[in-house]
Amino acid sequence: MADGATPRNHGTEPSGSRSQTLDRGVRVLETLRDRGRPMTIIDLARSLEVHRSIIYRILRTLEDHRLVARTADGGYELGPGLPALARGVSRPLQSAALPVLSGLADETGMTAFVVVPSGDEAVTLLTVEPRQSDAHIAYAPGVRHPLDRGAPGLALLAARPERAGERSEVARVRESGWAYSRSEVLTGMSAVAAPIPSAPAPASVALIFLEPPEGDPEERRVLGERVRAAAKEITAGQG
């Protein structure tokens, strides 16, 4: 897209009702997140299809607010100001979930996390890794995946009324109170999750772990019931 051209319209409103500069700034942050590595001004300009001078001005503004940071080799990466902003998202949920996740992670030796929906995606809001474990899977806040893939997403869907065309697994989650998935988000990784009932907004609590190919249904059931109990604790903690 040439400099000054109309940006892509991501919603249903006409593009004239939106801020082009803000849209580009958000897309810069999303691109840095998706690439998962520092990017140069030229890289970002090519990805967003805008002139380098525009990207330069956007980056300078984002850098002033600590939303991006420059690396030693002149690239740009997401900045330390973003976690501070994220702490304000769903504050009651995060406050109630943090002690529960800490106990869940230490008890199971697995990474525990809370997921919320964002459009058609499930977004990891908060994670806690076990303080003592021989090995566990790191899972950072901000990880996104399709809402209908993976145990956390299935648990989110189960918290909603039944919809036509939804996966059959969602109905089973409503019956059992917890979801299980394997290799749906990360190859070889398994997860169990439970919807958080009565939350002000939909959410789910989950564990991610590595299990043998054959798995152990009883171990899954135990973990599923544990995340289900954790979900009830988080609900109670929100008052």
pLDDT tens, position by position, 86-128: 665 567 888 889 999 999 999 999 999 999 998 888 988 889 9
**88-237: same fold as 15-84?**
no
Which CATH number describes the domain made up of 15-84? 1.10.10.10
Statement: residue 66 has pLDDT above 90 = no
DSSP for 121-177 reads EEEEEEEE--SS-S------TT-EEETTSHHHHHHHHHTSPP-TT--HHHHHHHHHS
Q: Which residue has the tokens 């994220």?
A: 86
CA separation for the pair 85, 14 (Å, rounded): 29
Query: Please, which pLDDT band fits residue 231 given cuts at 50, 70 and 90?
Result: very high
Averaged pLDDT for residues 211-215: 82
Q: Beta-carbon neighbour count of residue 133 at 10 Å? A: 14
Q: Give the DSSP H/E element, type plus range, for residue 179.
A: strand 179-182
> Domain map of the chain by residue range?
15-84, 88-237
pLDDT at 143 (0 to 100): 83
Query: If pLDDT is split at 50, 70 and 90, which confidence band does 225 have?
Result: very high
Q: Which CATH superfamily is domain 88-237 in?
A: GAF domain (3.30.450.40)
Residue 78 binned pLDDT confidence (cut-offs 50, 70, 90): confident
Q: Cα–Cα distance between 58 and 64 in angstroms, integer?
A: 10
- Cβ atoms of 155 and 167 within 8 Å: the answer is no
**Weakest mean pLDDT among 76-80, 131-135, 210-214:** 131-135
Q: Are 156 and 117 in contact (CB under 8 A)?
A: yes
pLDDT one-digit tens code per residue, 146-193? 999 999 999 999 999 898 989 999 999 999 999 999 999 988 899 999
Bigger pLDDT: 199 vs 201: 201
| Residue 85 and residue 79 in contact, taking contact as beta carbons nearer than 8 Å | no
- Whole-structure pTM value: 0.69
DSSP 49-107: TS-HHHHHHHHHHHHHTTSEEE-TTS-EEE-THHHHHHTTTTHHHHHHHHHHHHHHHHH
Mean residue pLDDT of the chain comes to 85
- pLDDT, tens only, 4-56: 333 344 444 445 677 888 889 889 988 988 887 899 999 999 999 999 999 99
- In three-state secondary structure terms, 210 is strand
Q: Which residues of 64-84 are buried (b: 16+ CB within 10 A; e: fewer)?
A: eeebbbeeeeebbebbebbee
